Chains A and B, each alone.
Chain A
Amino acid sequence: MFEFTQEPMLLSALTDMFDRMGITWSSILLHFVALVILTVGLYLLLFKPVKKMIRERQEKVKKIEKENADLNEEVKELKASSERVLSEAKKEAAAVHESAVKAAGEQADGIVGEAKAKAKALVERTEAEMEGERKKLRSDMEKQIADVSLLVAEKVIGRSISHEDNKRLIEESLKKWSDEENG
């Protein structure tokens, strides 16, 4: 920093230096004016648009940020809904599974029941068959006995019937028929 006391000296030195360089105060002034004009011009022509551009970019960034946030929100929502769907699906799956198990159980019960019924029917049928066999055997035996006794009766009657018996038989028959027809 220059000291104040030295200022006139500094000024004169400057003037001196300007003189030697051929620069006059007026030209300096003129340059200054030119600079001012340049600055104002530049400000108007360059700075403003750039500023505007920057503002716009800022806005754009903001918008993108907002969009991002929205998207995030959406993603969250989607996630939530998908979770919901998933849980519902799980619930449904459980229900389906349950009903399937129930149906399978019913079917199994049915099959087992049927098998049991079949087994029972088989046992019953076999028992009935055995009973039938017994009955058949019995009736066969009865028939055999009857046949044999009849044969025996034939033989006995054939041999033992006397002339008188036969005569009586014949006369009885004749009388019976006559009575039947007359009565």
Chain B
Amino acid sequence: MIDLNEIGKSLKEKIARAGEQPGHSTGRIVYSGDGIIKIAGLSDVRYNELLDVRGGYRALALNLEHDSVGAVLFSGEDKVRYGDYVYSTGKAVEMKVGEALLGRVVDPLGGPLDGLGEPEAAETRPVEFPAPAIMDRAKVDKPLQTGILAIDSMIPIGRGQRELIIGDRQTGKTAIAVDAILNQKGENVVCIYVSIGQKASSLAKTVNVLRAGGAMEYTCVVCSTADDAVPLQYIAPYSGCALAEYFMYRGKDVLIVYDDLSKHAAAYRTMSLLLKRPAGREAYPGDVFYLHSRLLERAAKLSAEKGGGSITALPIVETLAGDISAYIPTNVISITDGQIYLESELFNSGVRPAVNVGLSVSRVGGSAQRKAIRQISGQLRINLAQYRELAIFMQFGSDLDGQTQKTLSRGAKLTETLKQKQYRNYTVREMIVLLTVAQSAVIDEIPVKKIAGFNEGLLAFMRADKASLLGDIDPDAAVSVGLREEILAAAREYMQYAFGGEDADV
């Protein structure tokens, strides 16, 4: 199984090569505590340089002071001692990159966490890297389908966009991101899921979902769990981004999910406080805005001259009690090109995904939306807004005229249509069918409670019996009147089967 001779041989080779090590500068640890070390000497070390600590441990130089260097340890915080020698490496922290990383679960330095051995990646990229220049960027013009009706119709995301997913805990933030990754199957989009300071159990669940959905083929999971050293949590999103850039600069489209940036900010706060940097609002250091802006600026759509690749970033931020005016949420909202706002009230009342359509926006995705979807969903927002406004009045129990009642019932059914089971993604054509039917007179004949079943059945019916009609729908062209009539006729036909001749009571 394991060839001992070979080990000996490779070791001998390494020893033979070792003699030519270039001299690095040296320092000694004069303080060690909480994973922070202070080093005397090392005068020529640079910011963010990787340091070697005696015993084979790694550290990251972060504070360069007059006569000492402050650094954080990636490992071995209970092993290093006062007086230990520290050597500079002349290298910044680097992440392994390459196709070999796809399908893998790795730590922020590219080490394997899935028991599959070292990823055989020939290249590395610095974890910190400047964002593409203005001239290298192009307009976001291609949609990134999440497969979630409420999002793709009203809060469309374009390739190269940064769309924040924000909400309280347990509102389905990760579910949306995972759904978006699952929906990239066959879309030629590389996905990277960066987990920052999450529970190992929930991370394992996510990885299993991705694996079961066949999404791991084009996905890499970069993770730092809650028990990882704080510096690892700190560099995890940058490592993930370095991997994403590798693919972007090769002309590929990449979707990267940062789950989640509030924990990242907390990790950075821990580090900063231990490094004795001055604390600001909510005890975050002064540069916490820059922390996220430099990360999210690296997501971009490259111009055709640069290969036309893109990084679409879906950062996730957790709020406390729906407070989006807290420090980190406001910061990230102002950096991103829009946000998907999830509400626990909606979630608990059964509206899932619990997207608050009123507060969610997408600032650039609209132009990237497929033509047919844009045409059909134009009125959607207004209709829903009207419905919500009226729904509030309805609670007073006032008498309603026919028009109002119709608006209310249509609104309720529209809301019902926008509900979607987890991991049940719609294709663009299915979305067109659902939206067309939900905004027509056909829907008036179906009771609210049966909408979900009707939609599900209708799609199955379309797939089985009306495959040609489904195929006739062109997402990139406007839906013609004739096509619309055909879709509605199919819906009526299915209604006959589903509810028989009996008139379903509205």
Residues of A within 8 A of B (CB): 103, 125, 128-129, 131-139, 141-142, 145-146, 149
Contacts and interface: CB of A to CB of B under 8 A. Distances in A.
Interface in B427-470: 464
B14 to A, nearest CB: 8
B225 to A, nearest CB: 19
B1 A134 contact: yes
Interface of B: 1-2, 4, 7-8, 10-11, 112, 114-118, 464
A149 B12 CA distance: 11
A12 to B, nearest CB: 99
A172 to B, nearest CB: 13
A141 B2 contact: yes
B372 to A, nearest CB: 27
Contact of A128 (B8, B11, B116): B116
Contacts of B464: 103
Contacts of A129: 114-116
Contacts, number: 40
Contact of B11 (A133, A134, A135, A142): A142
Contacts of A128: 116-117
B17 to A, nearest CB: 13
B4 to A, nearest CB: 8
Given A134-B2, A135-B117, 20 more contacts: A128-B116, A129-B114, A129-B115, A129-B116, A131-B116, A131-B117, A132-B114, A132-B115, A132-B117, A133-B115, A133-B117, A134-B117, A135-B118, A138-B7, A141-B2, A141-B7, A142-B7, A142-B11, A145-B8, A145-B11
26 contacts: A128-B117, A129-B116, A131-B116, A132-B112, A132-B114, A132-B117, A132-B118, A133-B117, A134-B1, A134-B2, A134-B117, A135-B118, A136-B115, A136-B117, A137-B2, A138-B2, A138-B7, A139-B118, A141-B2, A141-B4, A141-B7, A142-B11, A145-B7, A145-B8, A145-B11, A149-B11
Contacts of A132: 112, 114-118
A134 B2 CA distance: 7
Contacts of B112: 132, 136
Nearest to A132: B117
Contact of B10 (A125, A135, A142): A142
Nearest to A96: B465
Contacts of B117: 128, 131-136
Interface of chain A, helix or strand or loop or mixed? Answer: helix
B16 to A, nearest CB: 14
A138 B116 CA distance: 13
B134 to A, nearest CB: 43
Most buried by A among B2, B11, B117, B118: B117
Nearest to A125: B116
A146 B55 CA distance: 12
Nearest to B3: A138
A93 to B, nearest CB: 15
A133 B118 CA distance: 10
A147 to B, nearest CB: 8
B51 to A, nearest CB: 19
Nearest to A128: B116
A131 B116 CA distance: 7
A103 B7 CA distance: 56
Contacts of A125: 116
A104 to B, nearest CB: 11
Contacts of A145: 7-8, 11
Contacts of B11: 142, 145-146, 149
Contacts of B10: 142
B235 to A, nearest CB: 23
A135 B2 CA distance: 9
Contacts of A141: 2, 4, 7
A141 B11 CA distance: 11
Contacts of A142: 7, 10-11
A169 B97 CA distance: 42
A81 to B, nearest CB: 23
A145 B6 CA distance: 13
B494 to A, nearest CB: 15
A171 B154 CA distance: 75
Nearest to B115: A129
Contacts of B2: 134, 137-138, 141
A142 B7 CA distance: 6
Contacts of B7: 138, 141-142, 145
A90 to B, nearest CB: 19
Nearest to B464: A103
B295 to A, nearest CB: 30
A134 B3 CA distance: 10
B181 to A, nearest CB: 18
Contacts of B4: 141
A104 B6 CA distance: 54
Nearest to B116: A132
Nearest to B212: A118
The 3 residue pairs across chains A and B that have the minimum distance between CB atoms: A132-B117, A135-B117, A132-B116
B277 to A, nearest CB: 35
A177 B317 CA distance: 53
A132 B100 CA distance: 14
A49 B325 CA distance: 109
Nearest to B217: A121
A2 B116 CA distance: 144
Contacts of A135: 117-118
Contacts of B118: 132, 135, 139
Contacts of A131: 116-117
A146 B7 CA distance: 10
A33 B6 CA distance: 156
Nearest to A176: B23
